[in-house]
Amino acid sequence: MKLPKRYDPKTAEPKWQQFWEEKGLFHFDRVPDRPIYSIDTPPPTVSGRIHIGHVFSYVQTEVIARFWRMMGFNVYYPFGYDDNGLPSERLVEKEKGVKASDVGREKFVQMCLELTKEYEKEFSTFWKSVGLSVDWSQDYSTIDPRSQRISQRSFIDLYRKGRAYTREAPTLWCPECHTAIAQADIEDAERDTVFYDVAFKLGDRDLVVSTTRPELLPACVAMFAHPDDERYAELIGKKATVPIFGHDVPILADEKADPEKGTGLVMCCTFGDTTDITWWQEHGLETRIALDDNGHMNELATGYEGLYIKKARKRIVEDLEEAGLVRNERSISHAVNTHERCGTEIEFAVAHQWFIRVLDIKDEIIAAGAKVAWYPDYMEVRFRNWVENLKWDWCISRQRYYGVPFPVWTCSSCSEVILADESQLPVDPTVTAPPVDVCPKCGGSEFEPEHDIMDTWMTSSCTPFLNIRWGEEDSRLERFLKSDNGTEYLMDMRPQAHDIIRTWAFYTVVKSVLNEEKIPWRTAMISGHVLHPDRAKISKSKNAGSHSPTAIIEERSADATRYWACSSRLGTDTVFSYDLFDAGKRFVVKLWNASKFAIMRLEDFDADAPRELGAPDRWLLARFAVTVDRATRSFEVGDYNGALDAVERFFWHDLCDNFIEIAKKRLYGDEGYDDAARRGAQYALYQTLLGVLKMVAPVMPHITEEIYSLFFAEREGVESIHIAAWPEPPQEWHDKAALESGELGLAVIEGMRKIKSTNKVSVATPVGVLRIAASQELWEKIKQLTGELRDVSNAEAVEHVLWNGDTESPPGDGFVGTDEAGIMVSAELKEVQS
């Protein structure tokens, strides 16, 4: 059989993707009797464009799925879409040019559903073109009824366990999105602003405070100085008058007031920052709210009502200046907290919100995180640091529309919380009546449905539950649950990028610990980011559009792209460059060409006929055995890069450049070799090429499948390389002596090649006598290779010159050294061309 001259990924890749899908090769339970390996795939938010960073991350983890499948596992690798929540809402508002509040809840939710469905189709098509070995029949979306049901079930369980609570409290608030948010939704941003020194009055005395938020003057409830600050010691306990607004506020002492900052005197407003909240709580201060939910001044800010924050600030500063109360102003750049979804500076609002109590169990969460094997391991530290630094319970209510509703009603007379019945789930309390007619506590019959929806992370933190169908009739908990040293875990692996350790990883651990008292996964594979050449992170919100992944896959092929993704170490960021795509492409071509040659020479290979393994064959098999060991150990701990490196080196260097060159004449069936010797070479070639294809298959699934299907599939009796068994070299291939003599032989070849290269002649140039100077001991190891050394050198004869290294060079002319100590080589070139 003759393979076509060239391999064309443009036609081959879609062909194989279709083949895999039609054959259902990646279906969970295709081999139900095998042990399960389950993967908690990240459901991407459909609100963002797919960028090359996604491809980087997904490929790095998907190759591991392919590896375990070949290792004989029943791999569960689903796909999901995170389509509920604020990100999707913002997408719809942007694309359709509407505001949720104008359209109405029902209509808006409908628009969200429609648009996200469209995007999901696009996403699936794209991910198939990358060659992900996903079982598409297992896909889910975080807004689908089952996800909503599981999410609500999880909430009800947390409520019953006393973990979910509601209360009226100052909460992080986004005035743009008009909703409460959680600590994890905050992003720091460097912003330019102005520091104003504003004079308060105490009698005739000026008390100057520095502030960047003069618009919060109407919300000022106190002034603070450090207790040791002598400048203000006598003022503590007195009252100062707030400029413009004229109300009096107490002057108090607290250690959190920094004497070094500004004048050392600071105003406390309800609420400017978290310190204000602490002071407000600890000192029992009054509450003066001057901002409404949309970031406009309210009636408390007399004269400025209805103005948006920035505008109010400008006007108040003007009025202060006019009154001569601004003593100084200077421009500064400082870090502010913004909402990561929209970039708006966050405010604080006092409102009724739902929370998950986590601050009291930080240690438990940290301990659970420590039981997960993080790859790379330092990612666990990031998880721990985040949990240690938590300041808020997890705020899970959002004053939005598109998301999972709280399965909750409240008694209108006594505020008793009424939970939905399991049979009602999923439930929208605004359209469904509560499961009771009268309040079990007070007998009241009026109920108020909860209008808020849950934080989108409340559902995405359930992904292990969605995968195991937690609490559902078709629950897989029993099947998926495994334990390791007494630690029970729900799934085998969580793949994700490091930027969402604080959200997705953290919340998932919280849920698994609280709902199930288990850790969510045995391992977590944390991948890095792709950076622009100017080192900025490529992400969905920034720099989208450049390096379109669709274009890259089309131009460079999925295999080359996957090779690129596997060329940097797990967890580390990489600067985008086409260099490694090109390396991947060359690897594909080389695999094709080498296979073309091999298959031509293997066509008549009869594995059952007697064969004799020559020294080069034993050397190759020994090198192969070492390579399989390393590749397997690497893949087992998620080190795709180490595995690929080992296999590529073996293939290119050992198999192609050396073995094939050395064994060529034997493979051609040239004179001087009998059939058994030829079959020895064929055997080594067959085994190692097949093994290489298998080990490369996780990274480059298309080219390997193409080659495998053209020759190996029929002989091996397995229709696809991706469900073939991972190579397992027999013990006898681990042959130390063969390795040693092989290396010596290569040293001879290197010397011979150097002679030809120095003389600027072709490597095919005939040689008279090839002389090998070596000790008797070394020669014993080399001499079994004389036939092949003669072939590869195109020499008439090979002679041994006894030389123990006791003289500078052996007797005779033209000897060159080699990398192998103790061997020198000379060769008489027959047709020296000038």
Partner RNA sequence: GGGCGAAUAGCUCAGCUGGUUAGAGCACCUGCCUUACACGCAGGGGGUCACAGGUUCGAGUCCUGUUUCGCCCA
DSSP at 218? G
* 551 vs 764 by CB, closer to RNA: 764
Residue 809: how many CB atoms within 10 A of its CB?
15
User: The tokens 């397997």 sit on which residue?
Assistant: 632
Q: Distance (Å, rounded) from C-alpha 652 to C-alpha 689?
A: 11
Q: Can residue 1 be called a binding residue for RNA (CB under 7 A)?
A: no
Q: Can residue 703 be called a binding residue for RNA (CB under 7 A)?
A: no
Smallest distance, RNA to C-beta of residue 398, A: 19
Q: Can residue 536 be called a binding residue for RNA (CB under 7 A)?
A: yes
Q: Which tokens go with 258? A: 């920094």
Burial 620-658 (b: 16+ CB within 10 A, else e): bbbbbbbbbebbbebbebbbbbbbbbbbbebbbebbbeb
Report the residue from 391, 485, 736, 808 that binds RNA according to the rule CB under 7 A: 391
Span interacting with RNA, options 347-355, 379-387, 675-683, 733-741, rule CB under 7 A: 379-387
Smallest distance, RNA to C-beta of residue 455, A: 16
Smallest distance, RNA to C-beta of residue 211, A: 17
Q: Which helix (H) or strand (E) holds 552?
A: helix 549-556
Contact letters (x/-) for RNA, 580-619, by CB under 7 A? x-xx-xx--xx--xx-xx--x-------------------
Smallest distance, RNA to C-beta of residue 357, A: 19
Smallest distance, RNA to C-beta of residue 638, A: 12
Count the residues of the shown chain that bind RNA, applying the rule CB under 7 A: 72
Smallest distance, RNA to C-beta of residue 219, A: 21
Smallest distance, RNA to C-beta of residue 568, A: 4
Please give the distance of CA 92 from its chain centroid, rounded to a whole number.
Answer: 26
Q: Can residue 345 be called a binding residue for RNA (CB under 7 A)?
A: no
Report the residue from 248, 484, 657, 674 that binds RNA according to the rule CB under 7 A: 657
Q: Can residue 532 be called a binding residue for RNA (CB under 7 A)?
A: no
Q: CB within 8 A of 608, min separation 6: which ones?
A: none
* 431 vs 764 by CB, closer to RNA: 764
Q: Which long-range contacts (CB under 8 A, 24 or more apart) does 515-518 make?
A: 515/154, 515/157, 515/158, 515/465, 515/470, 516/470, 516/490, 518/481, 518/487, 518/488, 518/489, 518/490
Q: Distance (Å, rounded) from C-alpha 822 to C-alpha 805?
A: 6
Among candidate residues 375, 383, 341, 368, the one with its CA nearest the CA of residue 528: 375
Smallest distance, RNA to C-beta of residue 185, A: 9
Q: Can residue 550 be called a binding residue for RNA (CB under 7 A)?
A: no
For the chain, how many helices (H) and strands (E)? 26, 30
Smallest distance, RNA to C-beta of residue 760, A: 4
Q: Can residue 763 be called a binding residue for RNA (CB under 7 A)?
A: yes
Q: Can residue 6 be called a binding residue for RNA (CB under 7 A)?
A: yes
Smallest distance, RNA to C-beta of residue 833, A: 7
Smallest distance, RNA to C-beta of residue 808, A: 16
Q: Can residue 414 be called a binding residue for RNA (CB under 7 A)?
A: no
Report the residue from 101, 137, 385, 483 that binds RNA according to the rule CB under 7 A: 385
Q: Can residue 202 be called a binding residue for RNA (CB under 7 A)?
A: no
DSSP at 45? B
* 15 vs 754 by CB, closer to RNA: 754
Smallest distance, RNA to C-beta of residue 825, A: 12
Smallest distance, RNA to C-beta of residue 361, A: 19
Q: Which helix (H) or strand (E) holds 274?
A: helix 274-282
Smallest distance, RNA to C-beta of residue 664, A: 7
Q: Can residue 577 be called a binding residue for RNA (CB under 7 A)?
A: yes
Report the residue from 378, 674, 732, 737 that binds RNA according to the rule CB under 7 A: 378
Report the residue from 95, 106, 118, 188 that binds RNA according to the rule CB under 7 A: 188
* 245 vs 650 by CB, closer to RNA: 650
Report the residue from 116, 523, 574, 688 that binds RNA according to the rule CB under 7 A: 574
DSSP at 346? P
Report the residue from 242, 312, 418, 660 that binds RNA according to the rule CB under 7 A: 660
Residue 726: how many CB atoms within 10 A of its CB?
19
Q: For 308-327, give the DSSP string.
A: BHHHHHHHHHHHHHHTT-EE
Q: CB within 8 A of 241, min separation 6: which ones?
A: 200, 201, 202, 247, 248, 249
The count of residues in the chain is 834
Q: Can residue 826 be called a binding residue for RNA (CB under 7 A)?
A: no
Asked if 680 and 612 count as a contact pair (C-beta separation under 8 A), the reply is yes
* 335 vs 551 by CB, closer to RNA: 335
Start-to-end Cα distance in the chain: 41
Span interacting with RNA, options 29-37, 435-443, 508-516, 758-766, rule CB under 7 A: 758-766
* 124 vs 593 by CB, closer to RNA: 593
Smallest distance, RNA to C-beta of residue 662, A: 10
Strand-pairing partners, residue 660, are none
Report the residue from 292, 293, 661, 828 that binds RNA according to the rule CB under 7 A: 661
Q: Can residue 533 be called a binding residue for RNA (CB under 7 A)?
A: yes
* 419 vs 628 by CB, closer to RNA: 628
Please give the distance of CA 815 from its chain centroid, rounded to a whole number.
Answer: 55
**CA-to-CA dists, residue 311 to 21, 99, 196, 304, 326, angstroms:** 58, 22, 16, 9, 17
Angle of helix 661-668 relative to helix 675-696, nearest 10 degrees?
A: 130
Q: Can residue 250 be called a binding residue for RNA (CB under 7 A)?
A: no
Span interacting with RNA, options 277-285, 292-300, 423-431, 654-662, rule CB under 7 A: 654-662
Smallest distance, RNA to C-beta of residue 292, A: 25
> Could you say which residues in the range 165-184 bind RNA, by CB under 7 A?
183-184
Query: Cα angle at 69 between 67 and 73, to 5 degrees?
Result: 125
Span interacting with RNA, options 254-262, 455-463, 755-763, 771-779, rule CB under 7 A: 755-763
* 338 vs 353 by CB, closer to RNA: 338
Q: Distance (Å, rounded) from C-alpha 270 to C-alpha 272?
A: 6
Q: Can residue 154 be called a binding residue for RNA (CB under 7 A)?
A: no
> In the Cβ-directed half-sphere of 314, how many Cα atoms lie within 13 Å?
4
Q: Can residue 186 be called a binding residue for RNA (CB under 7 A)?
A: yes
Burial class (CB in 10 A: 0-12, 13-18, 19+), 337: middle
Q: Distance (Å, rounded) from C-alpha 644 to C-alpha 696?
A: 7
Q: Can residue 389 be called a binding residue for RNA (CB under 7 A)?
A: yes
* 54 vs 665 by CB, closer to RNA: 665
Report the residue from 381, 433, 769, 832 that binds RNA according to the rule CB under 7 A: 381
* 640 vs 683 by CB, closer to RNA: 640
Residue 212: how many CB atoms within 10 A of its CB?
16
Q: Distance (Å, rounded) from C-alpha 667 to C-alpha 606?
A: 13
Q: Can residue 569 be called a binding residue for RNA (CB under 7 A)?
A: yes
Smallest distance, RNA to C-beta of residue 643, A: 10
* 468 vs 660 by CB, closer to RNA: 660
Q: Can residue 99 be called a binding residue for RNA (CB under 7 A)?
A: no
Report phi then psi at 82, rounded to 5: -95, 90
Report the residue from 139, 197, 499, 828 that binds RNA according to the rule CB under 7 A: 499
> In the Cβ-directed half-sphere of 318, how many Cα atoms lie within 13 Å?
8
Span interacting with RNA, options 195-203, 321-329, 439-447, 634-642, rule CB under 7 A: 634-642
